[in-house]
Amino acid sequence: MSAFTSEYEMVIGLEVHVELKTRTKIFCSCPTDFGAEPNTHVCPVCMGLPGSLPVLNRKVVEYAIKAGMATNCTIARYSKQDRKNYFYPDLPKAYQISQYDLPLCEHGYLDIETSTGSKRIGITRIHIEEDAGKLVHDKSGTFIDCNRCGVPLIEIVSEPDIRSAEEAVAYLQKLRATILYTGISDCRMQEGSLRCDVNLSVHKPGQPFGTRTEMKNLNSFQYVQKAIEFEYRRQVEAIENGEEIVQETRRFDEKSGKTSSMRRKEDANDYRYFPDPDLAPIEMSEQQLEQLQASIPVLPDQRKSKYIEQFGLTAYDAEMLTATPETADYFESVCAATEYPKQAANLMLTEVFRLMSAESEDTVRIPVAPAHLAALVNMTIDGKINSSTEKKVLGELWKNGDQSPEEYIRAHDLFQLSDPVLLEQLVDQAIAQNPKSIADFKKGKTNALKSLVGQIMGKTSGRANPVIVQQLIDEKVAKL
Amino acid sequence: MNTKQITELSLCQLSGHLQSGEITAVQAAKAYLDVIREREPSIKAYLSVLEGEAMQKAAQIDDRRSRGEKLSPLAGIPAGIKDNICTRGFTTTCASRMLENFVPPYDAHVIEKLDEAGAVMLGKLNMDEFAMGSSTENSYFQVTHNPRDLSCVPGGSSGGSAAAVAANEAVFALGSDTGGSIRQPAAFCGVVGMKPTYGTVSRYGLVAFASSLDQIGPLTRDVTDSAMVMDCIAGHDSRDTTSIDMEKLDYSAELGKDIRGMKIALPKEFFGEGLSDDVRKGIETAVARFKELGAEIVEVSMPTLSHALSAYYIISSAEASSNLARFDGIRYGYRAQDYDDITSLYKNSRSEGFGQEVKRRIMLGTFALSSGYYDAYYKKALQVRTLIVNDYNRIFEQCDCILSPVAPTTAYKIGEKTSNPLEMYLGDIYTVPVNIAGVPALSMPCATASNGLPVGMQLIGRPFSEPVLYRIGRAYETTCETTSR
């Protein structure tokens, strides 16, 4: 990044679309399952055939309200649905049923952790709407798959409180975690059940906000980060070159990592929102809201503070572990079987997360039983194995089938060698075979003895206790 | 009985003959198909006649009856359906080029109800394109003639429905009423038309014009028949959120009761400028007869009437602009031959597929909803809507119903008003406030004008007071039977 960019601050607001995990669509009883043959999950209602009428799926309202409650929103007692009118071949009615001025949820927030500390990001609103279909282009033409028409979505609009790509990703992770806990969506970015639009502008602190551009349908955290970084630089450079930023929608190209203009503001649709006369207003009683509130499970922040207080973890580590209910549940099961939660957390945040991310960003699958992970932690602390063996065994159990780590270690003879007699022999051998290293050390090269430790570890297939080996070398060399 | 005799029977009478076995459903269907064959060249009420299906259905009914099955009063009754009500497997065109070949894969709720009851569908009836118009001259396919005077329009938009009933080409017909589309053609053709309370009859399968105003209702020979059809088609439908979930009314329950002491309101604004002498005299006749029947006539005021027409044209056109957006040439319906890209495909298909009046309303509605104009037009119209509802509520606090003209004139000549759409709109002044308020209204003949054409009157009631309107209407009918029939 060039030097001048540091003078500019970026201002980001995110619009996140989350597909709800209801069994049926928002206005008809067609299934919502992903991946079916094109146009098999359709009916006159979701195809928008003349004369068909929508009937609101109450589950959609409940799920959206749960999302609102989990993100600290005020829930509307009276809400309505509006038509957003525009022509596009994937939109069978030529209007999308959404919510305009009376959304279900408003005025919420989420707290995030970044490398610079904690921050509160405001949530403007959450509303319900229907998804559109999918256009499939090939050489013979364009085809329309209406399976996704009418799949229920919530749109979560943040306040323009985000100031960096890191904060944007932290917010998205927190939002995803919160929604996953409520169980209303799978939040699978690759399948499009969580999609993100980024609104970004730049300005010099103290000056008014700049003109914003919008980047649509980013479907991975990595793309969000790259798109923000690119767009920030592009806007700053444009301003520095005396150009004006135009309000527009920009497309992010995943291959080049660049954004390019898609649609200018003056070409934007006038959506002509008006209340949908086919649908009655949505009214919620206090009793219904109380029942929904009671169904909200323990949320990431509640678990996070428990981890900080009970287990002594840092806020950042606690945030990471609570990113999905699966990882948090797993961590708590591990802690039930070990007295070393901090060490267990470290192993999870490094090795377990690394192994997980190698598989998929969207699904959490930890094939090693929590008790086994706890046993590895316990054995490491007790000195029965060293930390490199701990990692190695975890990787083996992960890839080649879970089993008792003790048995695996016994069968593969991986217990740490701490027998002083045996280790002394190995140290003596190493000293005898490396006269040059000894001489270098005596001349003041403090690092010269490192290779001796390495050689002994190699000879013992990594089983030697590196602490004892180091001690013995230090003692012996000092006597020479 | 011969063909002429059979087709002159009312629904109620024919139903009795079918139940007694005097006439079979096949005989009835055949008689009606004969009349259709004979009169259609001059009337042109039907867009499609389903002869084979009708005969088949009639035979099934006879078969079921012969096996001693207990059947509904509508079993074996031949009926016509306005062509904006979806019929599975049969074209539903809305009298538009846009849907010339559209075959719905499902039945409207009312069609299911009629089918269950055993009614025999004779065919689909002409209308103004997408129900927009008051003369049925806006049909893409044909102009329907008024059976009472073939040089006149039958009214609209349910002109085909009214003409078919008036010409004995159907025992009854279903129409739809967004701003008077059942009542005005009923008045022009001298038949009975009911616009039910909004939410009484499911709209599922009715191709929407203006969703918050549309209601399906019957056009019949007389008041009793109207109640019988309502007994069949009314009732809650979970597929229509605006359908009211309440215990079903017995529409025939109050037929035959006298109306002594009932209070009938007469809004003075209804008798101002624009009302023809023929209609004024007709209503005066009605007032005199109601007094004879022992009802009390109460003069009232409806100050918001002057705003109703503007509010109606904004609300209905705004909703129509959105409801008709789905006809884009992409998935079904008319697609232009020539286009270069997606935008020209939309533009050309819609320009060629829709008629003038439909395009006029789409543009009007699109404008009214546009950014910057919404508050001045659509929002204002909704406020007027509330005022109109308040006016009705106030009147209904002291009266049982409102007596009103249906249209300012009797049926006019074909082509007389097509050049001036605004004049055509003004003809809806008495009918649109009823849709705006969602209340029920019964349109029925009240007198015969000097030119020999029927004059209609309208009885407007509180929500869900259809049985009361039928009681008053039936009482009125008896006075006509003694004088004219």
Burial of A139 (0-12, 13-18, 19+ CB in 10 A): exposed
CATH fold of the domain at B3-233: Amidase signature (AS) enzymes (3.90.1300)
Report how far residue A97's alpha carbon sits from residue A18's, in angstroms, rounded to the nearest whole number.
16
Q: How far is A270 from chain B (nearest CA, A)?
A: 7
pLDDT at position A361, please?
Answer: 65
pLDDT at position A437, please?
Answer: 81
Element (H, E) at A359: none
Identity at A399, one-letter amino acid code: K
Kindly tell me if the per-residue pLDDT of B485 is higher than 50.
no
Tens-digit pLDDT profile for residues A89-115: 999 999 999 999 999 999 999 999 888
Contacts with B274 (C-beta within 8 Å, 6 or more apart), sequence order: B408, B426, B429
Q: Phi-psi category of B329—alpha, beta or left, where left has phi over 0 and alpha has psi -120 to 50?
A: left
Report how far residue B41's alpha carbon sits from residue B61's, in angstroms, rounded to the nearest whole number.
29
Per-residue pLDDT band for B319 (boundaries 50, 70, 90) equals very high
Q: What is the CA radius of gyration of chain B?
A: 21
Per-residue pLDDT band for A1 (boundaries 50, 70, 90) equals very low
pLDDT at position B130, please?
Answer: 98
Identity at B243, one-letter amino acid code: S
What is the arithmetic mean of pLDDT over B392-420?
Answer: 95
% of chain B beyond a pLDDT of 70: 99
Answer for the pair B126, B46: CB distance below 8 angstroms, yes or no: yes
Cis peptide before B157, with omega less than 30 degrees from 0?
yes
Specify the range with the lowest mean pLDDT, choosing from A117-131, B227-241, B271-285.
B271-285
Answer for the pair A366, A352: CB distance below 8 angstroms, yes or no: yes
**For every residue of B163-221, which 3-state class applies, written as one string?**
HHHHCCCCCEEEEEECCCCCHHHHHHHCCEEEECCCCCCCCCCECCCCCCCCEEEEEEC
Among A182, A251, A260, smallest CA distance to A219 is for A251
pLDDT at position B482, please?
Answer: 53
What is the arithmetic mean of pLDDT over A209-221?
Answer: 90
Kindly tell me if the per-residue pLDDT of B93 is higher than 60.
yes
Q: How far is B172 from chain A (nearest CA, A)?
A: 22
Q: Which residue numbers of A have CB closer than 8 Å to B's CBs?
A: 44, 47-56, 83, 85, 87, 89, 92-95, 144, 270, 272-274, 277-280
Answer for the pair A247, A212: CB distance below 8 angstroms, yes or no: yes
Kindly tell me if the per-residue pLDDT of B187 is higher than 80.
yes
Domain boundaries, chain B: 3-233
What ipTM, to 2 d.p.? 0.94
Specify the range with the lowest mean pLDDT, choosing from A40-49, A347-356, B72-81, B298-307.
A347-356
Could you tell me whether strands B78-82 and B120-125 are parallel, antiparallel, or unpaired per DSSP bridges?
parallel
Under an 8 A CB cutoff, do B322 and A83 touch? yes
Kindly tell me if the per-residue pLDDT of A386 is higher than 50.
yes
When the pLDDT of each residue in chain B is averaged and rounded to a whole number, the result is 96
Could you tell me whether strands A213-218 and A248-253 are parallel, antiparallel, or unpaired per DSSP bridges?
parallel
pLDDT at position B484, please?
Answer: 43
- Number of continuous H segments (helices) and E segments (strands) in chain B: 16, 11
Under an 8 A CB cutoff, do B92 and A50 touch? yes
pLDDT at position A266, please?
Answer: 66
Identity at A91, one-letter amino acid code: L
pLDDT at position A362, please?
Answer: 67
Of A48, A53, A274, the CB nearest to B326: A48
- pTM score, whole prediction: 0.90
pLDDT at position B214, please?
Answer: 98
Report how far residue B146's alpha carbon sits from residue B73's, in angstroms, rounded to the nearest whole number.
29
What is the arithmetic mean of pLDDT over A271-299?
Answer: 95
Strand partners of residue B265: B298, B402
Show which residues of B are catalytic: 82, 157, 181
Tens-digit pLDDT profile for residues B327-366: 999 999 999 999 999 999 999 999 999 999 999 999 999 9
Q: Which of A42, A81, A269, A274 to mutate to test the interface with B (most CBs of B within 10 A)?
A: A274
pLDDT at position B266, please?
Answer: 96
Specify the range with the lowest mean pLDDT, choosing from A117-121, A127-131, A281-285, A321-325.
A321-325
pLDDT at position B257, please?
Answer: 96
Of A272, A277, A279, the CB nearest to B369: A272
Among A288, A258, A399, smallest CA distance to A59 is for A288
Main-chain phi, psi angles of A42, to 5 degrees: -140, 160
Among B315, B285, B280, B319, smallest CA distance to B430 is for B280
Task: Walk me through the domains of chain A, giving residue ranges and CATH numbers.
Answer: 3-292 (no CATH), 300-411 (no CATH), 420-479 (1.10.10.410)
Among B420, B439, B333, smallest CA distance to B133 is for B420
- Number of continuous H segments (helices) and E segments (strands) in chain A: 16, 16
Kindly tell me if the per-residue pLDDT of A446 is higher than 80.
no
What is the arithmetic mean of pLDDT over A396-406?
Answer: 86
pLDDT at position B173, please?
Answer: 98
What is the arithmetic mean of pLDDT over B35-49?
Answer: 98
Per-residue pLDDT band for A456 (boundaries 50, 70, 90) equals confident
Under an 8 A CB cutoff, do B241 and A92 touch? no
pLDDT at position B483, please?
Answer: 47
What is the arithmetic mean of pLDDT over A173-202?
Answer: 92
pLDDT at position B220, please?
Answer: 98
Under an 8 A CB cutoff, do B210 and A277 touch? yes
Of A56, A92, A277, the CB nearest to B326: A92
Task: Decide which of B227 and A438 is more confident.
Answer: B227
When the pLDDT of each residue in chain A is averaged and rounded to a whole number, the result is 90
Please report, to the nearest 10 degrees, the dihedral formed by the alpha carbons of residues B274, B279, B285, B289 taken in order.
-100
pLDDT at position B135, please?
Answer: 97
% of chain B beyond a pLDDT of 90: 92
